[in-house]
Structures are given as C-alpha cells and as structure tokens.
Amino acid sequence: MSRARAPKPGTGKGGTGTPAGRRRSEGSGRERVRRGGSGGAIRRLRRWFWRALGAAVAAFGLVVLLFAAVDPPTTPYMFAEGRRLGGVAQEWVPLERIAPVMARSVVAAEDANFCTHWGFDLGAIRATLDSGGAGGASTISQQVVKNVFLWQGRSWLRKVIEAGLTPVIEAVWSKRRILEIYLNVAEFGEGVFGVEAAARHWFGIAAADLNATQAARLAAILPDPKHRSPTDPTAAGRRRAARIADGAATIAADGRAACFEQHS
C-alpha cells in the first residue's frame, strides 16, 4: 500500500513555492524594504537635524564666550551695508572712552530699566500690548543680540531666536559689556556705526568729548538713523532729545546707571 507523500513546505496551493506565492512573497519583501527605507531616511534626517542644532548651539556658546572679551569685528548688518555702500565708518572704543552722559542718554532713550531687568522689560512689554502694539519693547540686550548675531527686519522667526539668545548673553556678559557692544555697533546714520564714528561724523569730536545736548541728540535718532539728523533736528526731534536729556539725568540720580558706570 503506497503512502501519499506530503507536499513540501511552501509548494502547496498558495505557498511560496508556487508562482502566486512567490509573487506575494516578493511583493511583501519590497513593501518591507520601502517602509524600512522611508523610516530609515526619516531617522537619519532627525539625527542630522539634532546634530546640526547641537553644533549651532555649541558654536553660538563659543562665540558668546569669545565676545565677552574680544570685540566683534563686524555684524551681519554692518557687513551688508558695507557691501551696499562700498564701506562704512566705524571705530571701536571701550566704554571708558565714551562720555558717561552718552551711555546714560542711550539707556534713557532705548531701555530705561536696563540695569534692573534680565534681558526683557516685562513692564514695557505689557505697556506695548496694552497700547495695541504701538511702539517697541526691545531692550538694549535684545537689540545687541539682533545686531551682532541675527538679521534686520520684522520676522517672528527672528524674534523667537532673539528671545532664546538674549538670556544667554545676559548670563555671560556683564551689563557694562552689553552696553559697550551696543554703543559700538548701533547705526547712527547711513554707513555710520558706533558712537565714535557718529561723534566724529556729526560733531567733529571724539565720543569722549560729547556733551549732554549732543549725546541726547545722537540718542534721539536711534529709532530711525537714516532719516533723522542730530545736527538739524525737527521740532519733534528737539523735544525728544530734551526728554532724553532729562531721562539721562534721572537715571544718574536714582541709581539706574549703576550697573554700567564706574565709580572711583
């Protein structure tokens, strides 16, 4: 009596040994490869993204540490203006060679609570929101981050990055260093950067020799330096400069200049 042989595995109806079975098996394999390849590519992109982000954060940290002691050679905006205009006027000077009234005038004009906040003036932010967004609430620290590391113009992306970087420079740099850098990279006219170049361009003197009126008029043009003149101010410009001069005297009297002024 003969025995019926059992079919070999995979050779029965629908098994992988049949043409239909092989096609299904090959199709499933290709599908797994496609899925695995897509998932692998996404994982690789994620790894590269986090590595790039980590490298950018590390590089920024190193630059912040470097600029705590070394003066920035240029800024993105200064470089761009130099390309556009064929050069810019800028001469770096330490805070000791800038008239104290100039430093006080800039703080009075741009960030009266500079010495009392950690990079963000929450009171100014609330006031701006209450007024419907009219005016600005950027502190000097935020402006330094924008001027030294980022780009100009209104952009939510830039504001988000600026908000993340500002506490870093506040933690690493002294208030005096932040103000010193600001005074050396701020724009005071088309192609004129820094208070030393501004003092020589507008008044023919060094920044160390600026008086209270000159300092207030220079600070008054900061919101729109390309279209305002400290030597020929409008009536509104004169009123703004007068308010800045009063503010500079006030912060000197109430101690809000203590974080950046040296006292013997």
Which pLDDT band holds residue 124 (cuts at 50, 70, 90)?
confident
At 60 the pLDDT is 87
Average pLDDT of every residue of the chain: 87
DSSP 3-state of 89: strand
**pLDDT average, residue stretch 111-133:** 81
Ranking 16-20, 84-88, 89-93, 103-107 by mean pLDDT, the lowest is 16-20
DSSP 3-state of 192: strand
- Whether the pLDDT of residue 33 is over 50: the answer is no
- Whether the pLDDT of residue 228 is over 80: the answer is yes
Burial pattern 40-79, b for ≥16 Cβ within 10 A else e, equals eeeeeeeeeeeeeeeeeeeebeeebeebeeeebeebebbe
Task: Label residue 26 exposed, middle or buried (CB < 10 Å: 0-12, 13-18, 19+).
Answer: exposed
Alpha-carbon gap, residue 110 to 244, rounded angstroms: 9
Is the pTM higher than 0.85? The answer reads no
Alpha-carbon gap, residue 257 to 222, rounded angstroms: 19
Q: What percent of the chain has a predicted confidence (pLDDT) above 70?
A: 81
Paired residues of 89 in beta bridges: 192
